[in-house]
Amino acid sequence: MSNLLKLQQRADAGEKLAFLTAYDASFAALMQTSGVDAVLVGDTLGMVIQGQRSTLPVTLADITYHTAAVARGAPDTFIIADLPFGSYQANPAQALQSAATLMAAGAHCIKLEGGAVMANTVAFLTARGIPVCGHLGLLPQSVHAIGGYKVQAKTAAAAQQLIDDAKLLARSGACMIVVEAIPSQVAKAVTSAITVPVIGIGAGADCNGQVLVIYDLLGISPGKTPRFARNFMAESSGIAAAISAYVAAVKNVSFPAAEHCYLADPS
Ligand code: KIV
C-alpha cells in the first residue's frame, strides 16, 4: 500500500520514485504489481485515449470516469488525478468542487497546473484535507499561450521564476510538484530548494522521481516521440516486464539518461 507519508519517506531516504500515468483498471493493476510508486490519471488521456490534439477538451467527467477505473484496478496504489482545464482556474471554490468529485471517484491527491497564480487555491484545498500536486514548467493546458509544446525555464530569469513558484507552492501546502520539460540544472535546483518530492518528466535525473506517460514507455504514443521518452517495450518481453524495467531504471538512476534531458540556454 503506498500513501503520501511513505512517498515522502522514500524520497527523504534518497530512493527515486517511479510514477506512471494510468487510465484503466488493467494497466493500473499491472503497475501495482510491478512496483510503481504512484499512478497519475493524467489529462494526457485526451491525447492518448481520445485522440485529441491537446489536453484542453478533457472534462471533469472524463477524468472522474478514468480515476474510478484506475482505483478499481489498483486499490493499494497512491492515485493522483489531474484537474482538467477549466475545472479549477476560476476560483478556489470551483477547484474544491472539482477536486471533491475526483477524490470521491478514488483519487488520493489532485494535480493542477500553474505557479504563483495557483498558490491560494493550493492553500485552500490543502487546508480542507485534499493533497495537491503542483505542476510547473511546460504546462500543456497553456499550450496556446506559450506557443506550443516547448522546453521551459531555459533562461536564468525564467529558471529563477520557476524556482520561486516551486517554493511558493510548497509553502502553500503542495505535497509534491511535477516539473515538465525543463533543463536538468533547473530541476536540480528546484529539488534542492524544497523538501516535498519533485517528480520530473523531461527534467533530468536529479529530481526525487520520474513520471512517464505509459504509452510513451510502450512506444505506442501517437505522433512524434518526445525526447524525454524511452521505449522500454523494445527491450522487454512483455508489458509487465517493460513496466518493471522502467521502475528499475528510475530506481537505479539509469533513466533518464543524458539523451533524454534538456540544457539551459548559455548565459
Ligand atoms: O497529464 C499527464 O499525463 C501529465 C504528465 C505528462 C505529467 O500531466
**Is 132 part of a structural domain of the chain?**
yes
CA angle 108/114/118 to nearest 5° reads 75
**pLDDT the model gives residue 12:** 98
Pocket of ligand 1 (CB under 6 A): 21, 40, 42-44, 82, 178, 180, 201, 211, 213
42 C-alpha to ligand 1 centroid (Å): 5
Locate 37 and state its grid cell: 510508486
Kindly report, residue by residue over 4-23, the tens digit of the pLDDT.
999 999 999 999 999 999 99
Question: Closest by alpha carbon to 22, among 48, 47, 41?
Answer: 41
Residue whose CA is closest, atom 1 of ligand 1?
A: 42
Percent of the chain with pLDDT over 90: 95
44 C-alpha to ligand 1 centroid (Å): 6
Quick check: 72 pLDDT over 90?
Answer: yes
Residue whose CA is closest, atom 8 of ligand 1?
A: 42
Cα–Cα dist 47/138, whole Å: 16
CATH number at residue 28: 3.20.20.60
Residue whose CA is closest, atom 4 of ligand 1?
A: 42
Quick check: 1 pLDDT over 80?
Answer: no
**Is 82 part of a structural domain of the chain?**
yes
Mean pLDDT of 149-165: 97
Cα–Cα dist 191/201, whole Å: 13
Question: Closest by alpha carbon to 182, among 143, 213, 148, 136?
Answer: 136
| Number of domains forming the structure of the chain | 1
140 C-alpha to ligand 1 centroid (Å): 8
Q: How high does pLDDT run on average in the chain?
A: 96
Sign of CA dihedral 253, 255, 257, 262: negative
Cα–Cα dist 47/164, whole Å: 30
Cα–Cα dist 42/84, whole Å: 9
Quick check: 226 pLDDT over 80?
Answer: yes
Dihedral in degrees, nearest 10, Cα atoms 190, 254, 18, 137: 30
**Is 93 part of a structural domain of the chain?**
yes
238 C-alpha to ligand 1 centroid (Å): 24
Kindly report, residue by residue over 74-100, the tens digit of the pLDDT.
999 999 999 999 999 999 999 999 999
Dihedral in degrees, nearest 10, Cα atoms 246, 249, 254, 260: 10
Q: Which sequence positions are flagged as catalytic? A: 180
* CA 21 to ligand 1: nearest atom: 3
Quick check: 266 pLDDT over 80?
Answer: no
267 C-alpha to ligand 1 centroid (Å): 30
**Is 65 part of a structural domain of the chain?**
yes
Quick check: 50 pLDDT over 80?
Answer: yes
**Is 265 part of a structural domain of the chain?**
no
**Is 69 part of a structural domain of the chain?**
yes
Pocket test for ligand 1, best of 55, 66, 216, 221 (most atoms within 8 A of CB): 55
* CA 140 to ligand 1: nearest atom: 8
Percent of the chain with pLDDT over 70: 99
pLDDT category, 223, cuts 50, 70, 90?
confident
Dihedral in degrees, nearest 10, Cα atoms 173, 179, 183, 184: 80
Mean pLDDT of 211-235: 91
Tell me the DSSP string of 126-167.
HHTT--EEEEEES-GGGHHHHTSS-----SHHHHHHHHHHHH
Quick check: 28 pLDDT over 90?
Answer: yes
Cα 70–chain centre separation: 16
Locate 175 and state its grid cell: 505535497
Domain of residue 176: give its range: 4-260
For β-strands 198-201 and 209-212, DSSP reports them as: parallel
Mean pLDDT of 114-118: 98
Pocket test for ligand 1, best of 17, 39, 40, 177 (most atoms within 8 A of CB): 40
Mean pLDDT of 39-52: 96
Kindly report, residue by residue over 175-205, the tens digit of the pLDDT.
999 999 999 999 999 999 999 999 999 999 9
**pLDDT the model gives residue 267:** 64
**Is 19 part of a structural domain of the chain?**
yes
Residue whose CA is closest, atom 3 of ligand 1?
A: 42
SS3 72: helix
**Is 267 part of a structural domain of the chain?**
no
> Going by C-beta distance under 8 Å and a sequence separation of 6 or more, which residues neighbour residue 67?
41, 79, 81, 102, 105, 106, 107
pLDDT category, 263, cuts 50, 70, 90?
confident
Residue whose CA is closest, atom 5 of ligand 1?
A: 42
